[in-house]
Each structure stands twice: as C-alpha cells, then as structure tokens.
C-alpha cells in the first residue's frame, strides 16, 4: 500500500465532476444571505448550523437532504447565485482542483420558465469571473500550473412537489396525482430544451442530469428529455444506482444514453436487483460492469456522501469503489456537496487512499479519469491538449513526491 501525503494530494491537479451548487455554499455565506433576506435558520452561527443541520454524520438520506431547504432558500436571487458560483470556483481552486462541472436545477430557483436563462447566466458569470482571475496567476501564465476550466450541467428532477419552488407549484397546480408522471417528464423536457438553446448561444452548458428519488421514479419516465439531449449532441449524466439496483444503471445507459453515471453505488449488488425478469443476477451484473468498462462510461463516485446516506456502508472498505478500481472501470472521485458533506476533493482522495490499498498507478488513473471523462466545453482537440497538460503536471509532481520520499 503506497502512502500518499495530504500535501501531495492537495498539490496534484484534480477534477470535481459531480458537484452540486446548492450543496456547496460557504457556511458563512449561507448565514449572510439568510440574514439579508430575512430567511429563518435553525441557528445563525456556524457551530449551531453544523450541530443542527450540516452534520459530520447523518442518520439517513432524509436527514442529509434537510439542509437543502436552507441552501435553496437563500439562492433565490441572481446576485446570490452568481456569488455562490464564484466562491465555489475559488474554493475548488484552493483545493488544487483545476476542472469542475457545476450542476444545479434552475427550476428550483425560478417562478417562470423564461427565467432559466437568467438563472444560468448568473451562475456562468460567477464561474467565469473566478476563471479569469485564476488564469492570470503567474504560475499559469508561466506554464507551471494548468489553467482552471469549468462546465455547467443543468439538472432535472425525477419528481418534485409544489413546496420546492413556485415553478413546480405552478406546474402541479391543475394536475391530479395520476398526472404527475407527465408533469415531471414535461419539466425535464422544458429544461433540456433551454439547456440546448443556452449551449448554442455560447454558454458552457456541457451536460444534462437527472437527480432525485430512484425507487418508483425510473429514469425512463424522462426518456423524451434525454432523447432530445442525445439528438442535439448534449452529453448526459444520470444519478443511478445510488439508492436502487443495477437495473437503474442499465436503464440510464440504454434508455437515457448516459455518458456518465452519478454514484453507481449498487452496481455490484445482486440483492438490490428488483426485476423478476433478471434470472441470472450474477451474469447480469458481470455483463453490465463489463459494458461500462469497455465503453469507458465514467462513474462519478462520491465516497463521503455515500457513507453519510447509505446505511449499508459502515466504512469505505465496504464501498464498491474498491471493486470498480480492481475491474479497471473509469472511476472519478467527486465531492457531491462540499458543504453538506463537509468535504473537498483532497479529503475524498485521502479517505480513499487510507481505506483502500491503492498503488500510485491506481491513484493516478482515478485522478486522470476525471480529466478524460470531463464533458468539456471546447473542441475535442483542445480537450486533448488540456488533458495532456494535466497528465504532465501530475507526473512531474508524482516524480517529485516519490523522489523526496525515497531519499
């Protein structure tokens, strides 16, 4: 087992492909926004909020998600969204992260459909400001560090209720419970059409996502939205296998054309398979995982978040990421929610290296999988150049690290 120092992991160029804007505010900024907007919080002190809401350990996913009522609650103005995006980029860069894909659900922050463009532009402006500042740094200009880059992923929800936003309340207002499935699908289709239009206007919209409760709300209900994304060359990632079995991952790939999978935690779980039509569960999982490996469908694994929300795992040693690595799947480690999970990419990689015996080759593959699997808002040849810079930077720091430790 190779020892990786925190200093080394912090220095190496990293990515954060699975990064929710509304779960990654600075706690001090959340409190400031709440005071300014007269929004009630359980506490207006960081210590109090960490004790009552944003804990180190959660009982389950329900408790984990409670904090989003407060984070989304303060992200209802363009100014707050722009500043949050800016601070998220700055904080990520301070952690040695050089590429992020920020995902969020614009429909959580709006009252009417036309506002999606303004909401997305506000996030873009915050990220772009941080990028321009970062890339003026002397180390970047001198070629001693790689530039900071980012992309935006717009996120649809498998289901929602009228309390989540005025937009959702309006959509559900005249619909019966029996019609909700079509309402959920309609919201996704409306969002992806906006995403494509904004992308075509020049905004760095690099992907479309589907999040939310898996059980009872399969991704196939949103097939029209993902078909639209697919036909318009917008890349797709789907939260799948996070709280449901391998067939959820299969459906995301086959019905929604997913280029990446968010979490994929129950990929290898025979017990989690629900479909009676799957007779040979072992073979099904083997074929599915082999397909994912061969197609280089990157799995966005969020270790701390998984440990906090999935009771089946008492430690990372029990997490399937070890098997994913052993089978040479394309695995990228992300934070999910920096605030809610109290984590950084450096923390995630340290946690992984301390609980799973990683070789330096395996760590390198995990880190670089993020760059290779990035959706990236530029021509493919530009992405290749950027990935090569990341590889060269990583190899130089790796050589320095091991030469210092061997001397």
Residues classed as catalytic: 242
Domains of the chain (ranges, CATH numbers): 6-406 (3.20.20.140)
Nearest CA to 242 out of 209, 277, 280, 206 is that of 209
Note the pLDDT of residue 113: 61
Q: What is the DSSP string of 170-228?
A: HHHTT--GGGHHHHHHHHHHHHHHHHHHHHHTT--EEEEEEES--TTS-GGGGHHHHHH
Note the pLDDT of residue 211: 95
Note the pLDDT of residue 91: 98
φ/ψ of 173, rounded to 5, equals -55, -45
Each residue's pLDDT tens digit, 9-58: 999 999 999 999 999 999 999 999 999 999 999 999 999 999 999 998 89
| Global confidence as pTM | 0.96
Residue range 376-382: mean pLDDT, rounded: 97
List % helix, strand, coil for the chain (3-state, nearest 5).
Answer: 55, 10, 35
Question: How far apart are alpha carbons 285 and 273 in whole angstroms?
Answer: 9
Question: How far apart are alpha carbons 246 and 238 in whole angstroms?
Answer: 13
- The side-by-side arrangement of strands in the sheet containing 205-211 is 14-20, 97-104, 149-157, 205-211, 235-240, 260-263, 298-301, 331-333
- 122 compared with 1, residue with greater pLDDT: 122
Do 162 and 173 contact (CB within 8 A), yes or no?
yes
Note the pLDDT of residue 54: 96
Q: How far apart are the first and last CA of the chain?
A: 19
Report strand pairing: 14-20 vs 298-301: unpaired
Of 110-119, 141-150, 183-192, 379-388, give the lowest mean pLDDT range. 110-119
Question: How far apart are alpha carbons 23 and 55 in whole angstroms?
Answer: 13
Each residue's pLDDT tens digit, 170-210: 999 988 888 999 999 999 999 999 999 999 999 999 999 99
Mean pLDDT for the chain overall = 94
Note the pLDDT of residue 110: 87
Question: How far apart are alpha carbons 221 and 328 in whole angstroms?
Answer: 31
Judge whether residue 313 has pLDDT over 60.
Answer: yes
Alpha helices (runs of H) in 205-311, residue ranges in sequence order: 223-231, 246-254, 281-295, 303-309
| CB atoms near residue 94 (< 10 Å) | 12
Question: How far apart are alpha carbons 276 and 329 in whole angstroms?
Answer: 27
> Hey, what are 201's tokens?
């206007």
> Distance of CA 290 to CAs 40, 70, 229, 251, 397, Å?
49, 41, 25, 15, 32
Q: Which residues have a Cβ under 8 Å from the Cβ of 268 and sit 6 or more positions away?
A: 246, 285, 289, 320, 323
């Amino acid at each position: 087992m190779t020892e990786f120092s925190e200093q080394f992991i912090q220095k190496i160029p990293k990515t954060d492909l699975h990064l929710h804007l509304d779960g990654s505010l600075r706690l001090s900024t959340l409190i400031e926004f709440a005071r300014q907007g007269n929004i009630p919080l359980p506490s207006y002190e960081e210590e109090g909020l960490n004790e009552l809401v944003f804990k180190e350990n959660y009982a389950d996913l329900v408790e984990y998600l409670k904090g989003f009522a407060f984070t989304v609650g303060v992200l209802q103005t363009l100014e707050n969204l722009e500043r949050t995006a800016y601070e998220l980029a700055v904080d990520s860069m301070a952690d040695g992260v050089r590429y992020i894909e920020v995902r969020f659900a614009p429909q959580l922050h709006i009252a009417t459909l036309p506002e999606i463009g303004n909401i997305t532009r506000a996030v873009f402006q915050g990220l772009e400001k941080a990028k321009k500042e970062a890339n003026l740094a002397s180390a970047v200009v001198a070629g001693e560090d790689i530039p900071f880059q980012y992309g935006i992923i717009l996120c649809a929800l498998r289901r929602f209720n009228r309390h989540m936003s005025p937009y959702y309340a309006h959509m559900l207002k005249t619909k019966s419970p029996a019609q909700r499935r079509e309402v959920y699908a309609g919201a996704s289709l409306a969002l992806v059409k906006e995403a494509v239009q904004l992308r075509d206007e020049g905004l760095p919209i690099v992907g479309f996502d589907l999040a939310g409760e898996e059980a009872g709300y399969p991704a196939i209900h949103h097939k029209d939205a993902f078909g639209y994304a697919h036909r318009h060359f917008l890349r797709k990632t789907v939260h799948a296998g996070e709280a449901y079995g391998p067939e959820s991952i299969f459906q995301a790939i086959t019905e929604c054309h997913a280029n990446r999978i968010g979490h994929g935690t129950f990929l290898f779980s025979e017990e989690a398979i629900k479909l009676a039509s799957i007779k040979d569960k072992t073979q099904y999982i083997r074929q599915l995982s082999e397909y994912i490996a061969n197609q280089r469908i990157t799995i966005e694994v969020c270790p701390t978040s998984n440990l906090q929300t999935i009771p089946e795992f008492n430690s990372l040693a029990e997490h399937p990421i070890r098997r994913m690595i052993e089978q040479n799947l394309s695995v990228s480690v992300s934070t999910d929610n920096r605030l809610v999970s109290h984590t950084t990419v450096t923390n995630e990689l340290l946690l992984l290296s301390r609980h799973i015996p990683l070789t330096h080759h395996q760590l390198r593959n995990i880190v670089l999988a993020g760059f290779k699997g990035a959706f990236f808002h530029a021509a493919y040849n530009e992405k290749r150049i950027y990935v090569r810079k990341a590889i060269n930077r990583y190899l130089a720091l790796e050589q320095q690290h091991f030469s210092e430790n061997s001397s």
